[in-house]
Amino acid sequence: MTDPALLVALPLVASALPALLALVRERLGWPLAVATLLAQTALALAVAGRVLREGRVVTDLGGVPAPYGIRLVVDGLAAPFVVLVAVAGLAVLAYTRVGGPRSGPFYSLYLLLVAGATGVCVTADVFNLYVFLEISGLAAYGLVASGGRGSAALAALRYLLVGTVGASLYLFGVGFLYVATGTLSMARLASVVASGSADPTLVLAGVALVSVGLAVKMALYPVHGWKPVAYGAAPAGVAAVLAALISTVAAYALARLLLGVLSVRFLRLYPVVETLLVAGGGASVLAGSLLALRARAVTDLLAYSSVVQFGVVVLGVAAATPASVAGAVVQLVGHAVMKAGLFLAAGVLAASYGVETIEEYGGLAERAPVTSAAVAVLAVGLIGLPPTVGFAGKLYVAVGAAAAGAWLSVALVVVSTLLSLVYFGRLLQRMYVDPPSGAAGDDSGAASLGMRGSVVAAAAAAVGLGLTAAALERVLAPTLEVLL
Protein backbone atom coordinates (compact mmCIF):
# COMPACT_ATOMS: atom_id res chain seq x y z
CA MET A 1 0.00 0.00 0.00
CA THR A 2 2.99 2.33 -0.10
CA ASP A 3 2.75 3.10 -3.78
CA PRO A 4 3.30 6.78 -4.65
CA ALA A 5 0.70 6.41 -7.41
CA LEU A 6 -1.97 6.09 -4.74
CA LEU A 7 -0.86 9.38 -3.26
CA VAL A 8 -2.15 11.13 -6.36
CA ALA A 9 -4.89 8.72 -7.31
CA LEU A 10 -6.66 8.74 -3.94
CA PRO A 11 -7.49 12.46 -3.68
CA LEU A 12 -7.96 12.69 -7.46
CA VAL A 13 -10.62 9.98 -7.53
CA ALA A 14 -12.16 11.11 -4.26
CA SER A 15 -12.43 14.67 -5.57
CA ALA A 16 -15.24 13.62 -7.90
CA LEU A 17 -17.43 12.47 -5.03
CA PRO A 18 -18.30 15.51 -2.89
CA ALA A 19 -19.77 17.42 -5.81
CA LEU A 20 -21.83 14.37 -6.83
CA LEU A 21 -22.91 13.51 -3.32
CA ALA A 22 -23.92 17.10 -2.76
CA LEU A 23 -26.84 16.36 -5.06
CA VAL A 24 -28.03 13.87 -2.45
CA ARG A 25 -27.03 15.67 0.71
CA GLU A 26 -25.20 18.97 0.93
CA ARG A 27 -23.22 18.24 4.10
CA LEU A 28 -21.52 15.03 2.96
CA GLY A 29 -18.49 16.85 1.50
CA TRP A 30 -16.72 17.51 4.77
CA PRO A 31 -16.72 13.96 6.23
CA LEU A 32 -15.69 12.61 2.83
CA ALA A 33 -12.78 15.03 2.61
CA VAL A 34 -11.71 14.18 6.15
CA ALA A 35 -11.80 10.44 5.42
CA THR A 36 -9.84 10.92 2.20
CA LEU A 37 -7.18 13.09 3.77
CA LEU A 38 -6.86 10.83 6.81
CA ALA A 39 -6.10 7.99 4.41
CA GLN A 40 -3.83 10.32 2.43
CA THR A 41 -1.92 11.29 5.55
CA ALA A 42 -1.44 7.66 6.57
CA LEU A 43 -0.30 6.86 3.05
CA ALA A 44 2.08 9.81 2.93
CA LEU A 45 3.61 8.81 6.25
CA ALA A 46 3.98 5.22 5.07
CA VAL A 47 5.69 6.35 1.86
CA ALA A 48 7.93 8.70 3.82
CA GLY A 49 8.83 5.82 6.13
CA ARG A 50 9.78 3.73 3.11
CA VAL A 51 11.87 6.59 1.76
CA LEU A 52 13.69 6.74 5.09
CA ARG A 53 14.48 3.02 4.88
CA GLU A 54 15.17 2.68 1.16
CA GLY A 55 16.38 6.12 0.13
CA ARG A 56 13.82 6.54 -2.66
CA VAL A 57 10.60 4.97 -3.86
CA VAL A 58 9.95 4.67 -7.61
CA THR A 59 6.87 3.53 -9.46
CA ASP A 60 5.91 3.37 -13.13
CA LEU A 61 2.20 3.85 -13.67
CA GLY A 62 0.64 0.74 -15.13
CA GLY A 63 4.04 -0.90 -15.25
CA VAL A 64 4.90 1.01 -18.43
CA PRO A 65 8.53 2.08 -18.09
CA ALA A 66 9.82 5.59 -18.78
CA PRO A 67 10.16 7.32 -21.21
CA TYR A 68 6.73 6.05 -22.45
CA GLY A 69 4.98 5.58 -19.12
CA ILE A 70 4.53 7.99 -16.26
CA ARG A 71 7.14 7.64 -13.59
CA LEU A 72 6.67 8.83 -10.02
CA VAL A 73 9.59 9.17 -7.60
CA VAL A 74 9.58 10.04 -3.91
CA ASP A 75 13.00 10.74 -2.44
CA GLY A 76 14.22 12.52 0.67
CA LEU A 77 13.56 15.91 -0.88
CA ALA A 78 10.00 15.07 -1.96
CA ALA A 79 8.95 13.14 1.14
CA PRO A 80 8.62 16.14 3.52
CA PHE A 81 6.42 17.91 0.98
CA VAL A 82 4.21 14.88 0.39
CA VAL A 83 3.60 14.67 4.12
CA LEU A 84 3.16 18.43 4.41
CA VAL A 85 0.48 18.53 1.69
CA ALA A 86 -1.52 15.73 3.32
CA VAL A 87 -1.22 17.01 6.90
CA ALA A 88 -1.86 20.65 6.05
CA GLY A 89 -4.86 19.66 3.94
CA LEU A 90 -6.23 17.63 6.83
CA ALA A 91 -5.53 20.26 9.48
CA VAL A 92 -7.27 23.06 7.62
CA LEU A 93 -10.38 20.87 7.40
CA ALA A 94 -10.71 21.26 11.18
CA TYR A 95 -11.31 24.92 10.46
CA THR A 96 -13.62 24.65 7.45
CA ARG A 97 -16.19 22.38 9.12
CA VAL A 98 -17.74 25.40 10.80
CA GLY A 99 -15.65 28.15 9.26
CA GLY A 100 -16.78 27.10 5.77
CA PRO A 101 -17.24 27.14 2.88
CA ARG A 102 -19.28 23.97 3.25
CA SER A 103 -20.62 23.15 -0.20
CA GLY A 104 -19.94 19.85 -1.97
CA PRO A 105 -18.18 21.42 -4.95
CA PHE A 106 -15.88 23.23 -2.52
CA TYR A 107 -14.58 19.95 -1.15
CA SER A 108 -14.21 18.57 -4.68
CA LEU A 109 -11.90 21.45 -5.51
CA TYR A 110 -10.16 21.07 -2.17
CA LEU A 111 -9.29 17.43 -2.84
CA LEU A 112 -8.28 18.29 -6.40
CA LEU A 113 -5.88 20.85 -5.00
CA VAL A 114 -4.35 18.24 -2.72
CA ALA A 115 -4.07 15.79 -5.64
CA GLY A 116 -2.37 18.37 -7.85
CA ALA A 117 0.01 19.56 -5.15
CA THR A 118 0.98 16.00 -4.30
CA GLY A 119 1.49 15.26 -7.98
CA VAL A 120 3.94 18.16 -8.31
CA CYS A 121 5.97 16.65 -5.48
CA VAL A 122 6.15 13.10 -6.77
CA THR A 123 6.40 13.43 -10.53
CA ALA A 124 9.65 12.57 -12.31
CA ASP A 125 8.77 14.24 -15.56
CA VAL A 126 8.85 17.95 -16.33
CA PHE A 127 5.72 17.83 -18.48
CA ASN A 128 3.66 15.95 -15.94
CA LEU A 129 4.82 18.52 -13.47
CA TYR A 130 3.12 21.12 -15.64
CA VAL A 131 -0.07 19.06 -15.66
CA PHE A 132 -0.12 18.75 -11.89
CA LEU A 133 0.75 22.41 -11.50
CA GLU A 134 -2.28 23.28 -13.60
CA ILE A 135 -4.54 20.85 -11.73
CA SER A 136 -3.65 22.47 -8.45
CA GLY A 137 -3.78 25.91 -10.06
CA LEU A 138 -7.27 25.45 -11.50
CA ALA A 139 -8.52 24.11 -8.20
CA ALA A 140 -7.00 27.14 -6.49
CA TYR A 141 -8.73 29.60 -8.83
CA GLY A 142 -12.04 27.93 -8.10
CA LEU A 143 -11.40 27.92 -4.37
CA VAL A 144 -10.65 31.64 -4.30
CA ALA A 145 -13.93 32.27 -6.08
CA SER A 146 -15.77 30.17 -3.49
CA GLY A 147 -15.80 33.20 -1.23
CA GLY A 148 -18.97 34.06 -3.11
CA ARG A 149 -18.52 37.83 -3.01
CA GLY A 150 -18.07 39.84 -6.17
CA SER A 151 -14.58 40.79 -5.11
CA ALA A 152 -13.75 37.09 -4.76
CA ALA A 153 -14.79 36.41 -8.33
CA LEU A 154 -12.69 39.32 -9.54
CA ALA A 155 -9.71 38.19 -7.47
CA ALA A 156 -10.07 34.67 -8.81
CA LEU A 157 -10.14 35.99 -12.36
CA ARG A 158 -7.03 38.01 -11.79
CA TYR A 159 -5.34 35.04 -10.14
CA LEU A 160 -6.39 32.85 -13.06
CA LEU A 161 -4.95 35.23 -15.65
CA VAL A 162 -1.63 35.64 -13.87
CA GLY A 163 -1.40 31.99 -12.88
CA THR A 164 -2.06 30.84 -16.41
CA VAL A 165 0.63 33.16 -17.75
CA GLY A 166 3.03 31.61 -15.23
CA ALA A 167 2.06 28.07 -16.15
CA SER A 168 2.39 28.92 -19.84
CA LEU A 169 5.85 30.34 -19.32
CA TYR A 170 6.76 27.14 -17.53
CA LEU A 171 5.41 25.07 -20.41
CA PHE A 172 7.29 27.24 -22.88
CA GLY A 173 10.50 26.58 -20.95
CA VAL A 174 9.78 22.84 -20.96
CA GLY A 175 9.55 23.12 -24.75
CA PHE A 176 13.01 24.66 -24.90
CA LEU A 177 14.39 21.95 -22.66
CA TYR A 178 12.80 19.29 -24.87
CA VAL A 179 14.30 20.81 -28.00
CA ALA A 180 17.69 21.00 -26.31
CA THR A 181 17.71 17.48 -24.89
CA GLY A 182 15.04 15.45 -26.61
CA THR A 183 13.51 14.23 -23.37
CA LEU A 184 11.07 15.27 -20.68
CA SER A 185 12.12 12.79 -18.01
CA MET A 186 13.97 14.49 -15.18
CA ALA A 187 16.54 11.71 -14.90
CA ARG A 188 17.28 11.68 -18.65
CA LEU A 189 17.35 15.48 -18.75
CA ALA A 190 19.88 15.47 -15.95
CA SER A 191 22.18 13.01 -17.68
CA VAL A 192 21.97 14.80 -21.04
CA VAL A 193 22.69 18.17 -19.43
CA ALA A 194 25.54 16.63 -17.45
CA SER A 195 27.04 15.05 -20.58
CA GLY A 196 27.29 18.50 -22.11
CA SER A 197 25.73 17.40 -25.41
CA ALA A 198 22.81 19.82 -25.06
CA ASP A 199 23.08 23.35 -26.42
CA PRO A 200 23.69 25.38 -23.24
CA THR A 201 21.96 28.44 -24.68
CA LEU A 202 18.76 26.51 -25.23
CA VAL A 203 19.01 24.91 -21.80
CA LEU A 204 19.56 28.29 -20.16
CA ALA A 205 16.63 29.80 -22.05
CA GLY A 206 14.49 26.88 -20.95
CA VAL A 207 15.61 27.24 -17.36
CA ALA A 208 14.94 30.96 -17.42
CA LEU A 209 11.38 30.48 -18.66
CA VAL A 210 10.68 27.63 -16.27
CA SER A 211 12.05 29.67 -13.37
CA VAL A 212 10.01 32.74 -14.23
CA GLY A 213 6.91 30.58 -14.59
CA LEU A 214 7.47 29.06 -11.18
CA ALA A 215 8.33 32.49 -9.76
CA VAL A 216 4.84 33.61 -10.73
CA LYS A 217 3.38 30.67 -8.81
CA MET A 218 5.66 31.43 -5.86
CA ALA A 219 4.72 35.12 -6.09
CA LEU A 220 8.26 36.44 -6.06
CA TYR A 221 8.64 40.16 -6.57
CA PRO A 222 7.72 41.63 -9.07
CA VAL A 223 5.26 38.93 -10.12
CA HIS A 224 3.62 38.79 -6.71
CA GLY A 225 0.56 40.89 -7.47
CA TRP A 226 -1.99 38.08 -7.42
CA LYS A 227 -1.18 37.00 -3.91
CA PRO A 228 -2.59 39.73 -1.65
CA VAL A 229 -5.63 40.03 -3.89
CA ALA A 230 -6.37 36.30 -3.88
CA TYR A 231 -5.66 35.80 -0.18
CA GLY A 232 -7.65 38.86 0.74
CA ALA A 233 -10.74 37.77 -1.17
CA ALA A 234 -10.65 34.06 -0.36
CA PRO A 235 -12.34 32.62 2.73
CA ALA A 236 -9.84 32.14 5.58
CA GLY A 237 -9.77 28.37 5.19
CA VAL A 238 -8.94 28.71 1.50
CA ALA A 239 -6.30 31.35 2.08
CA ALA A 240 -4.73 29.06 4.66
CA VAL A 241 -4.59 26.02 2.44
CA LEU A 242 -3.35 28.06 -0.53
CA ALA A 243 -0.67 29.72 1.62
CA ALA A 244 0.42 26.31 2.84
CA LEU A 245 0.46 24.49 -0.48
CA ILE A 246 0.43 26.43 -3.74
CA SER A 247 3.61 28.48 -3.59
CA THR A 248 5.29 25.81 -1.50
CA VAL A 249 5.07 23.12 -4.16
CA ALA A 250 6.13 25.64 -6.83
CA ALA A 251 9.23 26.37 -4.77
CA TYR A 252 9.80 22.65 -4.39
CA ALA A 253 9.55 22.29 -8.17
CA LEU A 254 12.12 25.06 -8.64
CA ALA A 255 14.53 23.38 -6.24
CA ARG A 256 13.96 20.01 -7.92
CA LEU A 257 14.62 21.40 -11.38
CA LEU A 258 17.66 23.46 -10.46
CA LEU A 259 19.34 20.87 -8.26
CA GLY A 260 17.95 17.58 -9.54
CA VAL A 261 17.79 18.30 -13.25
CA LEU A 262 20.41 20.94 -13.89
CA SER A 263 22.80 19.81 -11.14
CA VAL A 264 25.08 21.99 -9.08
CA ARG A 265 27.86 21.58 -11.62
CA PHE A 266 25.79 23.24 -14.29
CA LEU A 267 24.92 26.05 -11.91
CA ARG A 268 28.57 26.59 -11.06
CA LEU A 269 29.42 26.56 -14.77
CA TYR A 270 26.84 29.26 -15.52
CA PRO A 271 26.89 31.57 -12.51
CA VAL A 272 24.35 33.82 -14.23
CA VAL A 273 21.65 31.44 -12.97
CA GLU A 274 22.67 31.98 -9.36
CA THR A 275 23.02 35.71 -9.91
CA LEU A 276 19.49 35.93 -11.27
CA LEU A 277 18.13 33.77 -8.47
CA VAL A 278 19.81 35.93 -5.82
CA ALA A 279 18.49 39.01 -7.58
CA GLY A 280 14.95 37.60 -7.58
CA GLY A 281 15.18 36.38 -4.02
CA GLY A 282 16.78 39.59 -2.81
CA ALA A 283 14.22 41.78 -4.58
CA SER A 284 11.45 39.71 -2.98
CA VAL A 285 12.99 40.07 0.46
CA LEU A 286 13.38 43.83 0.20
CA ALA A 287 10.27 44.77 -1.76
CA GLY A 288 8.09 42.29 0.11
CA SER A 289 9.25 43.76 3.39
CA LEU A 290 8.54 47.31 2.27
CA LEU A 291 5.10 46.33 1.03
CA ALA A 292 4.42 44.52 4.30
CA LEU A 293 5.42 47.66 6.18
CA ARG A 294 2.78 49.60 4.31
CA ALA A 295 0.06 46.96 4.51
CA ARG A 296 -3.13 47.86 6.35
CA ALA A 297 -5.21 44.72 6.06
CA VAL A 298 -3.87 41.78 8.01
CA THR A 299 -4.26 39.44 5.03
CA ASP A 300 -2.14 41.84 2.94
CA LEU A 301 0.51 41.83 5.64
CA LEU A 302 0.53 38.03 5.62
CA ALA A 303 0.65 37.87 1.82
CA TYR A 304 3.60 40.26 1.58
CA SER A 305 5.36 38.41 4.35
CA SER A 306 5.05 35.33 2.13
CA VAL A 307 6.81 37.21 -0.66
CA VAL A 308 9.71 37.80 1.76
CA GLN A 309 9.76 34.21 2.99
CA PHE A 310 9.87 32.79 -0.52
CA GLY A 311 12.66 35.20 -1.32
CA VAL A 312 14.64 33.60 1.52
CA VAL A 313 13.82 30.15 0.15
CA VAL A 314 15.15 31.12 -3.27
CA LEU A 315 18.33 32.43 -1.65
CA GLY A 316 18.75 29.07 0.04
CA VAL A 317 18.26 27.16 -3.19
CA ALA A 318 20.60 29.51 -5.06
CA ALA A 319 23.45 28.95 -2.61
CA ALA A 320 23.10 25.20 -3.30
CA THR A 321 24.93 23.89 -0.24
CA PRO A 322 23.50 21.06 1.87
CA ALA A 323 22.78 23.42 4.76
CA SER A 324 21.20 26.12 2.60
CA VAL A 325 18.96 23.69 0.71
CA ALA A 326 17.97 21.98 3.95
CA GLY A 327 17.24 25.48 5.22
CA ALA A 328 15.06 26.21 2.21
CA VAL A 329 13.06 23.03 2.88
CA VAL A 330 12.76 23.77 6.61
CA GLN A 331 11.73 27.30 5.69
CA LEU A 332 9.11 26.05 3.23
CA VAL A 333 7.60 23.55 5.65
CA GLY A 334 7.74 26.03 8.51
CA HIS A 335 6.28 28.83 6.47
CA ALA A 336 3.43 26.61 5.32
CA VAL A 337 2.52 25.73 8.90
CA MET A 338 2.93 29.22 10.31
CA LYS A 339 1.29 31.14 7.50
CA ALA A 340 -1.65 28.75 7.33
CA GLY A 341 -2.02 29.14 11.09
CA LEU A 342 -2.00 32.93 10.81
CA PHE A 343 -4.61 32.96 8.06
CA LEU A 344 -6.80 30.71 10.18
CA ALA A 345 -6.22 33.01 13.15
CA ALA A 346 -7.20 35.97 11.02
CA GLY A 347 -10.32 34.03 10.07
CA VAL A 348 -11.16 33.28 13.69
CA LEU A 349 -10.70 36.91 14.68
CA ALA A 350 -12.67 38.18 11.70
CA ALA A 351 -15.54 35.80 12.46
CA SER A 352 -15.54 36.60 16.18
CA TYR A 353 -14.88 40.32 16.24
CA GLY A 354 -15.23 41.47 12.66
CA VAL A 355 -11.67 42.80 12.60
CA GLU A 356 -9.69 42.86 9.38
CA THR A 357 -7.11 45.65 9.50
CA ILE A 358 -4.07 46.00 11.73
CA GLU A 359 -5.71 49.13 13.10
CA GLU A 360 -8.76 47.16 14.20
CA TYR A 361 -6.64 44.53 15.96
CA GLY A 362 -6.00 46.99 18.81
CA GLY A 363 -6.32 45.44 22.25
CA LEU A 364 -7.46 42.06 20.92
CA ALA A 365 -5.15 40.17 23.28
CA GLU A 366 -7.48 40.88 26.18
CA ARG A 367 -10.58 39.67 24.39
CA ALA A 368 -9.08 36.68 22.62
CA PRO A 369 -6.09 35.66 24.75
CA VAL A 370 -5.59 32.17 23.33
CA THR A 371 -5.85 33.07 19.66
CA SER A 372 -3.70 36.15 20.27
CA ALA A 373 -1.04 34.08 21.98
CA ALA A 374 -1.04 31.71 19.01
CA VAL A 375 -0.71 34.68 16.65
CA ALA A 376 2.21 35.93 18.74
CA VAL A 377 4.00 32.59 18.56
CA LEU A 378 3.39 32.28 14.82
CA ALA A 379 4.50 35.84 14.12
CA VAL A 380 7.61 35.36 16.22
CA GLY A 381 8.22 32.23 14.18
CA LEU A 382 7.94 34.11 10.90
CA ILE A 383 10.30 36.75 12.25
CA GLY A 384 12.70 33.88 12.88
CA LEU A 385 13.27 33.98 16.62
CA PRO A 386 14.27 30.79 18.42
CA PRO A 387 13.10 28.20 19.22
CA THR A 388 10.58 28.25 16.36
CA VAL A 389 10.94 26.58 12.99
CA GLY A 390 11.39 29.99 11.36
CA PHE A 391 14.62 30.39 13.29
CA ALA A 392 15.90 26.99 12.17
CA GLY A 393 15.11 27.73 8.52
CA LYS A 394 16.78 31.13 8.50
CA LEU A 395 19.78 29.85 10.44
CA TYR A 396 20.31 26.99 7.99
CA VAL A 397 19.95 29.22 4.95
CA ALA A 398 22.36 31.78 6.42
CA VAL A 399 24.95 29.21 7.45
CA GLY A 400 24.66 27.42 4.11
CA ALA A 401 24.94 30.66 2.15
CA ALA A 402 27.95 31.70 4.25
CA ALA A 403 29.60 28.34 3.56
CA ALA A 404 29.18 29.03 -0.15
CA GLY A 405 30.60 32.52 0.29
CA ALA A 406 27.27 34.11 -0.69
CA TRP A 407 27.63 37.03 1.70
CA LEU A 408 24.91 39.06 0.03
CA SER A 409 22.46 36.26 0.76
CA VAL A 410 23.55 36.13 4.40
CA ALA A 411 22.99 39.85 4.68
CA LEU A 412 19.58 39.59 3.01
CA VAL A 413 18.46 36.88 5.43
CA VAL A 414 19.48 39.06 8.37
CA VAL A 415 17.81 42.10 6.85
CA SER A 416 14.62 40.13 6.26
CA THR A 417 14.60 39.25 9.96
CA LEU A 418 15.06 42.87 10.95
CA LEU A 419 12.33 44.16 8.68
CA SER A 420 9.91 41.41 9.64
CA LEU A 421 10.47 42.50 13.21
CA VAL A 422 9.12 45.88 12.32
CA TYR A 423 5.99 44.78 10.49
CA PHE A 424 5.05 41.88 12.74
CA GLY A 425 6.11 43.89 15.77
CA ARG A 426 3.59 46.52 14.74
CA LEU A 427 0.84 43.90 14.63
CA LEU A 428 1.78 42.41 18.00
CA GLN A 429 2.12 45.79 19.66
CA ARG A 430 -1.32 46.68 18.35
CA MET A 431 -2.80 43.49 19.76
CA TYR A 432 -1.03 43.45 23.09
CA VAL A 433 -0.23 46.98 24.12
CA ASP A 434 -2.48 49.40 22.33
CA PRO A 435 -6.00 50.11 23.54
CA PRO A 436 -9.00 48.62 21.69
CA SER A 437 -9.89 50.42 18.50
CA GLY A 438 -13.59 50.40 19.27
CA ALA A 439 -14.51 49.31 15.77
CA ALA A 440 -14.64 45.66 16.77
CA GLY A 441 -17.91 43.91 17.31
CA ASP A 442 -18.20 40.87 19.51
CA ASP A 443 -19.50 37.50 18.46
CA SER A 444 -16.95 35.30 20.16
CA GLY A 445 -19.21 32.27 19.78
CA ALA A 446 -18.83 32.41 16.01
CA ALA A 447 -15.51 30.59 16.09
CA SER A 448 -15.85 26.87 16.79
CA LEU A 449 -13.47 24.82 18.87
CA GLY A 450 -12.11 23.30 15.68
CA MET A 451 -11.39 26.72 14.22
CA ARG A 452 -9.52 27.91 17.28
CA GLY A 453 -7.92 24.52 17.82
CA SER A 454 -6.41 24.56 14.34
CA VAL A 455 -4.74 27.89 15.12
CA VAL A 456 -3.31 26.63 18.40
CA ALA A 457 -2.14 23.44 16.71
CA ALA A 458 -0.28 25.49 14.11
CA ALA A 459 1.47 27.47 16.85
CA ALA A 460 2.42 24.27 18.65
CA ALA A 461 3.69 22.82 15.39
CA ALA A 462 5.80 25.92 14.75
CA VAL A 463 7.64 25.34 18.02
CA GLY A 464 7.68 21.55 17.69
CA LEU A 465 9.13 21.68 14.19
CA GLY A 466 11.70 24.19 15.38
CA LEU A 467 12.91 21.78 18.03
CA THR A 468 12.95 18.82 15.65
CA ALA A 469 14.50 20.55 12.65
CA ALA A 470 17.47 18.22 12.99
CA ALA A 471 15.17 15.27 12.16
CA LEU A 472 14.11 16.93 8.91
CA GLU A 473 17.76 17.60 8.24
CA ARG A 474 18.45 13.87 8.60
CA VAL A 475 15.64 12.94 6.21
CA LEU A 476 17.07 15.29 3.61
CA ALA A 477 20.74 14.49 4.13
CA PRO A 478 21.10 11.36 1.92
CA THR A 479 19.18 12.93 -0.98
CA LEU A 480 21.03 16.23 -0.75
CA GLU A 481 24.31 14.35 -0.71
CA VAL A 482 23.40 12.78 -4.05
CA LEU A 483 22.01 15.99 -5.54
CA LEU A 484 24.82 18.25 -4.38
Partner 1 sequence: MTASWLPAVAVGLPFAAVVPIYLSRTRPNLREAWTFLAGAGAFVAVAATVSPVLDGARLTAATGVSYLGVPLALSVDPFGALFGLLAATLWPVTSLYSVGYVRRLDEHAQTRYFAAFAASVGSTLGVAFAANLLTLFVFYELLTVATYPLVVHEESAEARDAAAKYVAYTLSGGAALLAGLVLLSVAAGSLSFVPGGLDGLATDPTLARAAFGLLIVGFGVKAAVVPVHGWLPSAMVAPTPVSGLLHAVAVVKSGAFGLGRVFMYLYGPDAVRELGVAAPVVGAAVLTMLGGGVLALRAESIKGALAYSTVSQLSYIVLGFALAAPTAAFGALLHIPAHAFMKITLFFAAGAVSVETGAKSIRKLPGLARRLPVTLAAFAVAAAGLAGFPPVAGFVSKWYLVLGALRSDLPLTAAAFLLAGTLKLLLFWPMVAAAFFEEPPRSIGRSGASEAAADAASLPDGGAHGDVDARGGRALDSLVAESSPALLVPVALAVAGALLLGLVPERLPFWDLARAVVAEVFA
- Cis before residue 222, ω within 30 degrees of 0? yes
For position 161 contacting partner 1 by CB under 8 A, the verdict is: no
Shortest CB 328 distance to partner 1, Å: 14
Q: What span, in angstroms and rounded, lies between the C-alpha atoms of 393 and 335?
A: 9
How many Å apart are CA 84 and CA 89, to the nearest integer? 8
Q: How far is the CB of 414 from partner 1 (least distance, A)?
A: 5
Contact assessment for residue 385 and residue 395, using Cβ atoms and an 8 Å cutoff: no
Q: Residue 256 carries which DSSP code?
A: I
Determine if 336 is a binding residue for partner 1 (CB under 8 A).
Answer: no
Backbone angles phi, psi at 284, to 5 degrees: -65, -40
Dist CA 231 CA 300 (whole Å): 8
Tell whether residue 406 is a contact of partner 1 (CB under 8 A). no
Residues 6+ apart with CB under 8 A from 195: none
Question: Between residues 304 and 391, which has the closer beta carbon with respect to partner 1?
Answer: 391
- CB nearer to partner 1: pick between 211 and 417: 417
Q: Which of 182, 222, 425, 441 binds partner 1 (CB under 8 A)?
A: 425
- The residue from 329, 380, 427, 480 that contacts partner 1 (CB under 8 A) is 380
Among 12-20, 105-113, 219-227, 383-391, the segment contacting partner 1 (CB under 8 A): 383-391
Asked if 244 is part of the footprint of partner 1 (rule: CB under 8 A), the reply reads no
From 332, 392, 459, 461, residue interacting with partner 1 (rule: CB under 8 A): 392
Contact call for residue 469 and partner 1 (CB under 8 A):
yes
Q: Are 232 and 155 in contact (CB under 8 A)?
A: yes
For partner 1, the binding residue among 35, 269, 414, 439 (CB under 8 A) is: 414
377, 387 contact by CB (below 8 A): no
Which one of residues 5, 58, 411, 460 is an interface residue with partner 1 (CB under 8 A)? 411
| 318 forms part of the interface with partner 1 (CB under 8 A) | no
Nearer to partner 1, 206 or 327 (CB): 327
Please work out, in degrees rounded to the nearest 5, the angle formed at the alpha carbon of residue 264 by the alpha carbons of 261 and 270: 100
Selected range binding partner 1 among 110-118, 216-224, 248-256, 461-469, rule: CB under 8 A: 461-469
Out of 151, 197, 275, 429, which residue is the one contacting partner 1 (CB under 8 A)? 429
Answer yes or no: are the C-beta atoms of 223 and 292 closer than 8 Å.
no
Cβ atoms of residues 346 and 338 within 8 Å: no
Helix, strand, coil content of the chain in percent (nearest 5): 80, 5, 15
In a 13 Å sphere around the CA of 453, the CA atoms on its Cβ side amount to 11
* Binding residue for partner 1, selected from 31, 69, 386, 436, defined by CB under 8 A: 386
Which spans of this chain sit near partner 1 (rule: CB under 8 A)?
Answer: 323, 380, 385-387, 391-392, 394-396, 398-399, 402-403, 410-411, 414, 417-418, 421-422, 425, 429, 433-434, 467-470, 473
